[in-house]
Amino acid sequence: MIVQFVQHLAHPPAKLQAWPSADRVGWLVFIARNIGEQRFNTLSLPKRGGGDRGWDISA
């Protein structure tokens, strides 16, 4: 299942034909401009626990 939001538009959910990789975890992706790590960290988002994964704040 994929759900996409762009600015103020919500696109209808769509079912994926197949999972895109062997890694079957869910993904939450933000594409933002000039948000900064400190501001990003103030968002009310669940934090991932354990493992080597975390939030990637790449520029």
DSSP-assigned letters across all residues of 21-45: SS----------SS--HHHHHTS--
Q: Which of 36, 23, 21, 26 is nearest to 3 (CA)?
A: 26
pLDDT over threshold 80, residue 4: yes
pLDDT over threshold 80, residue 1: yes
Q: Which of 48, 30, 52 is nearest to 39 (CA)?
A: 30
| Contact call for residues 4 and 11 (beta carbons, < 8 A) | yes
| Confidence label for 49 from pLDDT (cuts 50, 70 and 90) | low
Q: How far apart are CA 23 and CA 53, in angstroms?
A: 12
Average pLDDT over residues 14-37: 81
The reported pTM is 0.43
